[in-house]
C-alpha cells in the first residue's frame, strides 16, 4: 500500500459528518500507517547497511514529509472529532437537564393538579417535549428512563379518562409492549455490530415509553419481563466490551514481552565484536519486528507508548550496528593500505638476481603480510593476487636459473636413491617413539641432501614418499595421535617435494575451505535451534543439534592447529 493512500483515507474520514463513531477506524488506520512506515524505514536501514558493507553510497529515502503530512491530517481529524465529542457531551448534559426538569414538572402534575383535563394536557405537553429531547449521557440513561417510566405509571393509574376506551387501550398497549419485549429478546441473540445494537435498543426503549398503560394486574409481570430483557441486552453489550478489553490487554502484554526480549538483546550490544555476531543479532531483531507486526492493536494510549518503547530499542540497535560497520571499514582500509605498501616492496624485489637475500626478504614480506590481518572481502583477494604475482615473478625466475645446475645435482640423486634403499630395508622398531624419531630423521636427511636434476625431482620424491608412507603405515597409530603424526609426516614430505610452495599453499587453502564449511554448518545448526519449541521432543532435537555444534567446533580447533604447523614460505 502506498503511503499516499493512508493520507487520502484519513482525509476522507475527516470529511465525514459524524466523526464520533470513526475514532477506532482512525486509530487502526494510524497503526497501519506506523507499521507501514516502520517496515519501510527498516528496509531502508537494511539497504543502507548492505550498501555500506559493499562500500557503495546509498541515498536513504526520507519519509518525514509523508509522516508529517499523515499526522497533520490525523491531528485535524482528531481535533474535529474532539469538537464533535465535546459538543455531543454538552448536548447530552443539556438534554439531561431538560429531562430532569420534565420529570420535576410531571411530579408536580401528579401531586398537585386536580383537574383531569388540565393534567392530561400537561402530560401530553411534557411527553411531546420528552420525545423531542435527544440522547443523554449513557450512564444516566437507565436511571432517568426508569424514573420517568415510574412517574408515567403513577400518572396513568391515577388519572381516569376515556373510561369507555380504557379496556381496549390497555389490551392494545399490552400487545404492543409484548411485541417490544419480543424484539428485545431477538436483539439479545442477534449477531449485530454493538453500535447498531445499541441504537436499536434505544429506539425500542423509546417505543416502549410511547405506548400507553396496561391493566394494573398485568403491569408488574410485563414491566419485570421488559426490564429483565433490557438488562440481558446490556449484559451482552458489557460482555462484548469486557472481551474487547481483554483482547487489547493481551495484545499489549504480548508487545511488552517482545520489548523485554529486544531490551535484553540491545543491553549486551556493546559486547558484539564480529560481523558474524552482528548478522546473527540483526536476524533476531528483524524476527522480533515481524512478530510485532502480527500482534493486534491494544488500547490507543498504551499502544502508542509501547510502540515508542519498541522503536527506541530498534533505533539503538541499528545505530550501534552502523557505528560498528564504520569502525570495521576503517580497520579494513588501514590493513589494505599496509598491504599495498608490502606489494610495492615485493614489486621492487621481483627483478632481483640476489637469490638468497631476496628470497629471505620476500619470505619476510609474506610473514608480514600474514601478520597484518585481513583487509575484508572487498580488498583481500585482489590484493593477495597482486602480492602473490609479484612474489611468483621472482621465485619462478629463481627456479629457472637453477634449472641449469641439474647436472651438478646427480650426486644428490644418487645419495637420495641410496637413502630410499636404506629406508626400504629399515626394520621398524617396536618402540613407537623411537620409530617416529627414525622416520623423521630419514625425512630430514632426504630434505638436507639438496636438489636433484629437474626431470628426476618428482620421481625420486614419489619413491621416497612411498617408502616413508609404508613405514608409517606399519606403525599402529590410533585416533588423534594418528591424525597428528601423519599430518606432520605429510608436511615433512611436502617440504621435500619440488613443488613444496604450491603444495603447502594448496594444503592451507584446503584447511581454510574445511573451516569455512564447518562455520557455515555451525551457523545453520544455531539458526535451527530457534525453531524448536520447549517440549520433550524438541529437547531431544536441541541436544542433538548442540552435540553436532560442539563436534564441529572441536574439528575447527583441530584444523587451526594444523594450519599453525604449516611453515610460511
Residues 70 and 211 in one domain: no
Q: Is residue 15 part of a domain?
A: yes
Q: Look at residue 76 in the predicted model and tell me its pLDDT.
A: 81
Residues 91 and 139 in one domain: yes
**Cell of residue 37, nine digits:** 512506515
Q: Is residue 493 part of a domain?
A: no
CB proximity list for 215: less than 8 A, separation 6 or greater:
170, 171, 174
Written as tens digits, the pLDDT of the chain (569 aa) is 455 588 778 777 777 777 766 778 878 888 888 888 888 888 888 888 888 888 888 787 877 888 888 888 888 887 877 877 777 777 878 888 888 898 898 888 888 877 777 887 888 888 888 888 878 888 888 888 888 888 888 888 776 554 455 667 778 887 888 898 888 888 777 777 877 777 887 888 888 888 888 777 778 888 888 888 888 888 777 776 676 667 777 777 787 787 777 777 777 777 666 767 777 778 877 887 788 777 776 666 677 787 787 788 788 777 777 766 666 666 667 677 777 777 887 778 778 877 778 888 778 878 877 777 766 666 678 878 877 887 888 778 877 776 656 566 788 888 878 878 888 888 888 787 887 788 778 777 877 777 778 778 778 778 877 887 787 777 766 656 556 666 666 666 666 666 667 777 777 788 788 888 878 877 877 777 666 655 556 677 777 777 878 777 777 877 777 677 677 75
Q: Is residue 216 part of a domain?
A: yes
DSSP symbols for 236-263: HHHHHHHHHHHHHHHHHHHHHHHHHHHH
Q: Which of 298, 322, 354 is the last residue of a domain?
A: 298
CA dihedral 509, 511, 514, 518 (to 10 degrees): -130
Distance CA 289, CA 437 (A): 62
Q: Look at residue 531 in the predicted model and tell me its pLDDT.
A: 64
Contact between 110 and 155 under an 8 Å Cβ cutoff? The reply is yes
Q: Is residue 356 part of a domain?
A: no
DSSP symbols for 412-475: HHHHHHHHHHHHHHPPPPSSHHHHHHHHHHHHHHHHHT----GGGHHHHHHHHHHHHHHHHHHS
Nearest to 56 by CA among 332, 329, 279, 282: 329
> Using the 8-state DSSP alphabet, how is residue 406 labeled?
G
Q: Is residue 128 part of a domain?
A: yes
Residues 155 and 88 in one domain: yes
Q: Which of 282, 298, 314 is the last residue of a domain?
A: 298
CB proximity list for 95: less than 8 A, separation 6 or greater:
133, 134, 135, 136
Residues 143 and 13 in one domain: yes
Q: Look at residue 16 in the predicted model and tell me its pLDDT.
A: 75
Residues 41 and 114 in one domain: yes
Residues 182 and 272 in one domain: yes
Q: Look at residue 1 in the predicted model and tell me its pLDDT.
A: 44
Torsion angles phi and psi, residue 124, rounded to 5: -60, -40
Q: Is residue 294 part of a domain?
A: yes
Phi-psi region at 59: left, alpha or beta (left = phi > 0; alpha = psi -120 to 50):
beta
Residues 166 and 156 in one domain: no
Q: Is residue 55 part of a domain?
A: yes
Distance CA 547, CA 543 (A): 6
Residues 1 and 113 in one domain: yes
Q: Is residue 327 part of a domain?
A: no
Residues 12 and 132 in one domain: yes
Contact between 95 and 136 under an 8 Å Cβ cutoff? The reply is yes
Q: Which of 298, 320, 338 is the last residue of a domain?
A: 298
Number of domains composing the chain: 2
Residues 234 and 294 in one domain: yes
Phi-psi region at 339: left, alpha or beta (left = phi > 0; alpha = psi -120 to 50):
alpha
Residues 150 and 179 in one domain: no
Which structural domain, as residue segments, surrounds residue 44?
1-161
Residues 201 and 140 in one domain: no
Amino acid at each position: 500500500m502506498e503511503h499516499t493512500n493512508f493520507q487520502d483515507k484519513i482525509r476522507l474520514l475527516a470529511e465525514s459528518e459524524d466523526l464520533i463513531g470513526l475514532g477506532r477506524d482512525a486509530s487502526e488506520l494510524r497503526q497501519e500507517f506506523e507499521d507501514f512506515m516502520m517496515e519501510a524505514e527498516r528496509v531502508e536501514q537494511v539497504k543502507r547497511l548492505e550498501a555500506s558493507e559493499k562500500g557503495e553510497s546509498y541515498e536513504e529515502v526520507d519519509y518525514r514529509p509523508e509522516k508529517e503530512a499523515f499526522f497533520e491530517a490525523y491531528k485535524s481529524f482528531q481535533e474535529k472529532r474532539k469538537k464533535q465529542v465535546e459538543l455531543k457531551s454538552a448536548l447530552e448534559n443539556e438534554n439531561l437537564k431538560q429531562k430532569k426538569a420534565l420529570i420535576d414538572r410531571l411530579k408536580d402534575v401528579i401531586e398537585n393538579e386536580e383537574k383531569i383535563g388540565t393534567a392530561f394536557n400537561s402530560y401530553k405537553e411534557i411527553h411531546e417535549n420528552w420525545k423531542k429531547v435527544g440522547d443523554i449521557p449513557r450512564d444516566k440513561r437507565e436511571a432517568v428512563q426508569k424514573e420517568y417510566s415510574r412517574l408515567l405509571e403513577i400518572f396513568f393509574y391515577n388519572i381516569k379518562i376515556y373510561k369507555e376506551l380504557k379496556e381496549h387501550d390497555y389490551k392494545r398497549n399490552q400487545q404492543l409492549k409484548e411485541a417490544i419485549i419480543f424484539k428485545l429478546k431477538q436483539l439479545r441473540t442477534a449477531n449485530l455490530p454493538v453500535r447498531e445494537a445499541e441504537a436499536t435498543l434505544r429506539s425500542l426503549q423509546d417505543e416502549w415509553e410511547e405506548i400507553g398503560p396496561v391493566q394494573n394486574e398485568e403491569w408488574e409481570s410485563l414491566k419485570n419481563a421488559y426490564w429483565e430483557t433490557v438488562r440481558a441486552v446490556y449484559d451482552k453489550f458489557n460482555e462484548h466490551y469486557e472481551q474487547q478489553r481483554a483482547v487489547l490487554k493481551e495484545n499489549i502484554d504480548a508487545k511488552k514481552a517482545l520489548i523485554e526480549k529486544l531490551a535484553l538483546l540491545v543491553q549486551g550490544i556493546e559486547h558484539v565484536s564480529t560481523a558474524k555476531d552482528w548478522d546473527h543479532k540483526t536476524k533476531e531483531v528483524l524476527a522480533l519486528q515481524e512478530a510485532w507486526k502480527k500482534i493486534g492493536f491494544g488500547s490507543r494510549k498504551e499502544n502508542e507508548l509501547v510502540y515508542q518503547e519498541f522503536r527506541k530499542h530498534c533505533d539503538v540497535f541499528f545505530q550501534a550496528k552502523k557505528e560498528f560497520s564504520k569502525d570495521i571499514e576503517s580497520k579494513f582500509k588501514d590493513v589494505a593500505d599496509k598491504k599495498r605498501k608490502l606489494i610495492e616492496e615485493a614489486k621492487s624485489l621481483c627483478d632481483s638476481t640476489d637469490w638468497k637475500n631476496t628470497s629471505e626478504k620476500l619470505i619476510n614480506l609474506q610473514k608480514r603480510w600474514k601478520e597484518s590481518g585481513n583487509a575484508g572481502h572487498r580488498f583481500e583477494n585482489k590484493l593477495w593476487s597482486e602480492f602473490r604475482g609479484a612474489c611468483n615473478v621472482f621465485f619462478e625466475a629463481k627456479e629457472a636459473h637453477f634449472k641449469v645446475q641439474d647436472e651438478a645435482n646427480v650426486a644428490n640423486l644418487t645419495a637420495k636413491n641410496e637413502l630410499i634403499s636404506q629406508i626400504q630395508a629399515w626394520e621398524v622398531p617396536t618402540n613407537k617413539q623411537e620409530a617416529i624419531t627414525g622416520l623423521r630423521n630419514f625425512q630430514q636427511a632426504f630434505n638436507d641432501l639438496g636438489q636433484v636434476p629437474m626431470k628426476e625431482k618428482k620421481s625420486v620424491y614419489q619413491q621416497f614418499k612411498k617408502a616413508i608412507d609404508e613405514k608409517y603405515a606399519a606403525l599402529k597409530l590410533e585416533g588423534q595421535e594418528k591424525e597428528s603424526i601423519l599430518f606432520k609426516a605429510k608436511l615433512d614430505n611436502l617440504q621435500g617435494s619440488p613443488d613444496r610452495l604450491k603444495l603447502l599453499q594448496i594444503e592451507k587453502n584446503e584447511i581454510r575451505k574445511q573451516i569455512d564449511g564447518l562455520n557455515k554448518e555451525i551457523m545453520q545448526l544455531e539458526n535451527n535451534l530457534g525453531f524448536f519449541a520447549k517440549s520433550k521432543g524438541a529437547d531431544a532435537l536441541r541436544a542433538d543439534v548442540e552435540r553436532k555444534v560442539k563436534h564441529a567446533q572441536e574439528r575447527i580447533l583441530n584444523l587451526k592447529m594444523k594450519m599453525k604447523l604449516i611453515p610460511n614460505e
